[in-house]
Amino acid sequence: MSAASKNHPRVTIGVSLKMYFGHHQTLNWARRIADTAARHPAVTSGTAELFVLPAFPAIVPVAGILAGTQVRTGAQDLAAEDTGPYTGEVSGAHLKEIGASYAEVGHAERRRLFGEGDTVVAAKTAAALRNGLTPVLCVGELDPVAPAEAAARTVAEAQRILATASHDSAPAPVVIAYEPQWAIGAPEPASPEHIRTVCEALTAWLATQPALTGSRVIYGGSAGPGLLTELGTGVGGLFLGRFAHDPAAVEQILDEAMTLHAPATTPAAANSPEGAARWLTD
């Protein structure tokens, strides 16, 4: 077992399929991801953790397709309550029972289209935590601002939500997905400098929170192939949307993760360009 898998992965790659795929298209996509994950050294070594968030009806069959590949599944949303007369809702308890590991909360689309503010996002984050799910907490500024200002606003947002959400829960990690709202669906992501500044500020804040030990910060917002290489090792991974619709793009990003974060047990020669290429093709 690699050093990465003993503790936590060096890179976290998440994929939200949103509502783009039909059911059979989702399952076919998952089969290709399963094939990639079963053979890709970034996943098999524990260097990268990959999780996917399909539509609710596909969670169980997708988990079955991905069984044995180390890829985890989760939901794009969850209810703030665990049981009761909440028509159309899906609880964290239900998600845990069917094998989900993650639950996305606070995405900008949920805020804009369904009016979810910090109080609702905190309640849903708390629901994920008390049911043993890792929240994928989306935070990010609404409009473009300077990197330092974006960092201050985003850390304050995470503080507001997690101060309430984690108050009554046992210590547990979260994944913070930094997604500047102005970059979601845009032709290009935020600049590498902007992303690093905000993600490093979030990581530094998390380091002061013992109850959130093991938490990670990843970037979303028009993230795709090539970005991880530009960001280097200062960001914990990526949260992908439409650029993951092609499984080949997911594999390319895993290649980048392997090049950037080869396991410590890999011979030093593997850190050379020639060694990295051999590692990726083994």
Per-residue pLDDT for 276 more than 50?
no
**Phi, psi angle pair for 227, to nearest 5°:** -70, -40
Confidence of residue 266 (pLDDT cuts 50, 70, 90): very low
Annotated active-site positions, please? 107, 179
Domain ranges for the chain, please list them. 3-77+137-281
Between CA 258 and CA 73 the distance in angstroms is 21
Per-residue pLDDT for 272 more than 90?
no
Residues in the chain: 282
Cα of first residue to Cα of last residue in the chain, in angstroms, is 17
What is the SS3 assignment for 129-186? HHCCCEEEEEECCCCCCCHHHHHHHHHHHHHHHHHHHCCCCCCCCCEEEECCHHHCCC
Tens-digit pLDDT profile for residues 11-60: 999 999 999 999 999 999 999 999 999 999 999 999 999 999 999 999 99
What percent of the chain is predicted at pLDDT more than 70? Answer: 89
Per-residue pLDDT for 121 more than 90?
yes
Please check whether the domain covering 3-77+137-281 is classified as CATH 3.30.70.100: no
Between CA 90 and CA 94 the distance in angstroms is 7
Tens-digit pLDDT profile for residues 192-205: 999 999 999 999 99
Residues paired with residue 216 on neighbouring β-strands, in sequence order: 175
Confidence of residue 281 (pLDDT cuts 50, 70, 90): very low
Residue 278: how many CB atoms within 10 A of its CB?
Answer: 12
Confidence of residue 165 (pLDDT cuts 50, 70, 90): confident
State residue 261's pLDDT score: 85
Contacts of 206 (CB under 8 A, 6+ apart): 176, 212, 215, 217
Mean of pLDDT values over 107-115: 97
Confidence of residue 2 (pLDDT cuts 50, 70, 90): very low
